[in-house]
């Protein structure tokens, strides 16, 4: 049975309504991916944040009355809440309250497959919980998991801070070991040309890698399907070969702890010779997505790489609209990874860029690591 969820956002005077709407739609996609049934999306416009309930007390009462008969399991806030706010709201509504970050962590927990990914998710969950170790409103604790309670970090709310810190330390040590193994692998690949596919979640990165390498990386219409890095050796033609990697997607307002925990996965981009920045051209929030990705690239120190912007999913847009977007992004290549449209042109373009970058490297330009 899907858990019923109400999504809540706050619009402050300085916020742009369109941005809030996009962000709430994204929250809905995250909730869908986590397996919730979203029954309502509410945005309250208010001049300030309420200290006790984040949104207005009146709005909370409205929600309680409206859902008096139809039981709601979860209320997800599109914001960070203080532990006290979480408790106050849970007490009023008698249902679990989650933040956007917790929902993202839950989606990560569902999709983590390898040992490294699981540990990175657990680390992020533990680090998120540590300063908030007060627990959810106790009458609501479930024993069977549920959204926000799944994954390796579940049920950790009861353990005390000391155990939590010990655990964080243990995982960090293990991750350093994994990082060392990765370093050895990287050294083996030192002479090869490395391309990293990066971009917003669900933009089609895995689909693109599958198409150009004829492989079978999991690609699906969910947020954060990919959490690990997959690398394929791709023949670009004329004897040129590149190692192309597909990795974890980015999202706006990415939780700080998540970048920190996924540092080693995200760092793959830092070791690349060039980046393929994939974005969904059909998404109305395209410009926003590009901005978020560039911001994250900066945060992980990979913003100075040669990059090719790949605007994907052109099959979803009518020609006239595409023409308009083309004018706005003159340096980009327009493709459909799914249909294989212009993916050969993309390979050629990578090959050309590769030649230029190889020349710079030979001339002794300092490595950008
Ligand atoms: N119409 C259309 N759909 C596409 C195209 N490329 C990818 N998709 C779809 O978009 C969805 C996401 O694709 P993925 O390749 O999983 O995207 P991703 O960037 O790897 O996503 P994460 O790993 O979740 O960050 C899937 O349902 C794909 O089938 C395209 O060119 N056209
Ligand atoms: Mg993927």
3-class state of residue 43 by DSSP: strand
What would the two tokens of residue 272 be? Answer: 């690349």
pLDDT for residue 157: 53
Cβ(336)–Cβ(342) under 8 Å? yes
Give residue 229 CA to ligand 2 midpoint distance, Å: 9
Residue 141 lies in a domain: yes
- The preferred substitution site among 104, 113, 207, 211 for testing ligand 1, maximizing ligand atoms within 8 Å of CB, is 207
Residue 97, beta-bridge partner list = 75
Task: Based on the fold, state whether residues 218 and 310 are members of the same structural domain.
Answer: yes
Atom in ligand 1 nearest the alpha carbon of residue 221:
27
Q: How many domains does the chain have?
A: 2
Instruction: Provide the pLDDT for residue 144.
Output: 56
220 lines ligand 1 (CB under 6 A): yes
Q: Which domain holds residue 219?
A: 189-362
Kindly write down the DSSP assignment for every residue of 254-298, as one continuous string: --HHHHHHTHHHHGGGGG-SEEEEEEETT-TTHHHHHHHHHHHHH
Query: 42 to each of 25, 27, 192, how far by Cα in Å?
Result: 11, 12, 51
pLDDT per residue as tens digits for the range 151-181: 554 455 555 678 888 999 999 999 999 889 8
Interatomic CA distance for residues 29 and 192, integer angstroms: 38
**Considering 138, 158, 178, which residue would you say is the last residue of a domain?**
158
For the entire predicted model, the pTM comes to 0.85
Cα end-to-end span (Å), the chain: 48
Which residue's structure tokens are 């059909």? Answer: 282
pLDDT tens string for the chain (369 positions)? 789 999 999 999 999 999 999 999 999 999 999 999 999 999 999 999 999 999 999 999 999 998 888 889 999 999 999 989 999 999 999 999 999 999 999 999 998 888 888 999 999 999 888 887 755 544 454 555 667 666 554 455 555 678 888 999 999 999 999 889 888 888 888 889 999 999 999 999 999 999 999 877 778 888 888 888 889 999 998 888 999 999 888 888 777 778 877 877 887 888 899 999 999 999 999 999 999 999 989 988 899 999 999 999 999 999 999 999 999 999 999 999 999 999 999 999 999 999 888 766 666 655 554
Domain C-terminal end among 136, 158, 180? 158
CATH number for 94:
3.40.50.11060
337 lines ligand 1 (CB under 6 A): yes
Strand 3-11 with 74-77, pairing: parallel
* Ligand number, closest to the Cα atom of 210: 1
Q: Best mutation site among 33, 206, 276 for ligand 1, i.e. most ligand atoms within 8 A of its Cβ?
A: 206
Last residue of a domain, one of 158, 176, 204: 158
Q: Which ligand is nearest to the CA of 200?
A: 1
Write the residue with the smallest CA distance to atom 21 of ligand 1.
Answer: 202
- Tell me how far apart the alpha carbons of residues 194 and 270 are, in angstroms, rounded to a whole number: 10
Q: Does ligand 1 lie within 6 Å of residue 362's CB atom?
A: no
Cα–Cα dist 96/192, whole Å: 50
Nearest Cα to 223, choosing from 109, 311, 341?
109
Q: In this structure, are 113 and 240 located in the same domain?
A: no
Residue 117 sits in the same domain as residue 66: yes
Which bound ligand lies closest to the C-alpha atom of 219? 1
- Report yes or no on 337 lying in a domain: yes
């Amino acid at each position: 049975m899907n858990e019923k969820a109400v999504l809540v956002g706050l619009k402050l005077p300085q916020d742009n309504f369109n941005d809030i709407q996009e962000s709430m739609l994204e929250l809905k996609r995250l909730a869908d991916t986590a397996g919730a049934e979203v029954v309502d999306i509410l945005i309250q416009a208010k001049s300030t944040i309420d200290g006790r309930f984040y949104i207005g007390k009146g709005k909370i009462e409205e929600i309680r009355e409206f859902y008096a008969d139809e039981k709601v399991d979860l209320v997800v806030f599109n914001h960070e809440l203080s532990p006290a706010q979480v408790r106050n709201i849970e007490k009023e509504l008698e249902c679990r309250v989650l933040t956007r970050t917790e929902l993202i962590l839950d989606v990560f927990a569902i999709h983590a497959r390898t040992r490294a990914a699981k540990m990175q998710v657990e680390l992020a969950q533990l680090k998120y919980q540590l300063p908030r170790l007060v627990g959810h409103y106790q009458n609501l604790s479930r024993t069977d998991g549920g959204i926000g309670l799944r994954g390796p970090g579940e049920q950790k709310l009861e353990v005390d801070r000391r155990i939590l810190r010990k655990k964080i330390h243990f995982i960090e040590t293990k991750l350093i070991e994994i990082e060392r193994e990765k370093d050895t692998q990287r050294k083996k690949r030192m002479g090869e040309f490395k391309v990293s596919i990066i971009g917003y979640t669900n933009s089609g990165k895995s689909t693109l890698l599958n198409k150009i390498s004829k492989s079978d990386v999991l690609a699906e219409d969910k947020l954060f399907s990919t959490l690990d890095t997959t690398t394929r050796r791709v023949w670009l033609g004329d004897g040129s070969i590149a190692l192309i990697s597909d990795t974890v997607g980015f999202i706006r307002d990415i939780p700080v702890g998540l970048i920190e925990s996924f540092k080693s996965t995200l760092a793959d981009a830092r070791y690349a010779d060039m980046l393929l920045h994939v974005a969904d051209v059909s998404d109305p929030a395209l410009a926003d997505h590009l901005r978020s990705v560039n911001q994250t690239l900066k945060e992980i120190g990979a913003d100075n790489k040669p990059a090719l912007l790949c605007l994907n999913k052109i099959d979803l847009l009518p020609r006239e609209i595409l023409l308009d977007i083309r004018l706005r992004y003159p340096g980009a290549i327009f493709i459909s990874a799914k249909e294989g449209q212009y993916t050969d042109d993309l390979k050629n373009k990578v090959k050309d860029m590769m030649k230029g970058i190889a020349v710079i490297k030979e001339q002794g330009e300092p490595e950008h690591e």
